[in-house]
Amino acid sequence: MLPNFRIAEAGTVSDLFRKKDIDTFYAAARHIHNLPYGRIKRPSKPHTVITEGKGTCSTKHSCLKLLAEENNINSIELNMAIFALNAQNTPQAKKILETYRLPYLLEAHVYLSYAGERYDLTHPDTSAKPWEKDVLIEIAIDTDQIGDWKKQYHQSVLEEWLKRDQLDYTLEELWRIRENCIAALEDS
């Protein structure tokens, strides 16, 4: 279980939560978890998840990681996995994958970990981790790596996959297919 703590320190994220009368990490995590899935205007500023009222795996978990750091809790990690997104773990993408005759698509997913356990607060009303059994690569990242660095890393993995499996797509085409899958998640 993630550690609970009082939001005591001053800082951008802590202050935003306190303005909403949220004074513990558990209450903050519940608040973030219940927000709808959606991209925010400034993903490089994950605390804006609080003001925009929505977020993705990257921005929601980065916001909570920043809250923990502001309160001197450094045992909660921010992780990124590359997993095989498929019709079983992401049913919203099934039609898109079928259209492009792809059994799966390599996707990046960001989440928290603590004491060897993974915590996914991306989608409201569920803490299920259907992607977990399909993880291929897992690394710890910093909150400032959720933007350009994450995209470049993800695209480098896709490039290697294209070469290795000799897929009939360019990186740009594969990225567009991926964006269609993300849009399907936002619409669900």
Predicted confidence band of residue 96 (pLDDT cuts 50, 70, 90) = very high
What is the per-residue pLDDT for 128? 78
pLDDT in tens, 117-130: 999 999 887 777 89
**Closest by Cα among 12, 5, 9, 46 to 28:** 5
Which tokens is 87 given? 């019709």
Whether 54 and 113 have beta carbons less than 8 Å apart is answered as no
The set of residues, in sequence order, having a beta carbon less than 8 Å from that of 185 and lying 6+ positions away, is 37, 90, 92, 93
Whether 43 and 146 have beta carbons less than 8 Å apart is answered as yes
pLDDT in tens, 22-69: 999 999 999 999 999 999 999 999 999 999 999 999 999 999 999 999
Mean pLDDT of 77-105: 96
How far CA 63 is from CA of 1, 60, 69, 115, in Å, comes to 18, 5, 10, 19
Burial classification of residue 41, based on how many CB atoms lie within 10 Å of its CB (0-12 exposed, 13-18 middle, 19 or more buried)? exposed
What is the model's pTM?
Answer: 0.93
State the Cα–Cα distance between residues 71 and 77, nearest whole angstrom. Answer: 14
What are the b/e assignments for 17-36, b being 16+ CB within 10 Å? Answer: beeeebeebeebbebbbebe
What is the per-residue pLDDT for 67? 97
State the Cα–Cα distance between residues 66 and 73, nearest whole angstrom. Answer: 10
What is the per-residue pLDDT for 61? 98
Which tokens is 100 given? 């492009």
What is the per-residue pLDDT for 9? 75
pLDDT in tens, 129-185: 899 999 999 999 999 999 999 999 999 999 999 999 999 999 999 999 999 999 998
What is the per-residue pLDDT for 24? 98
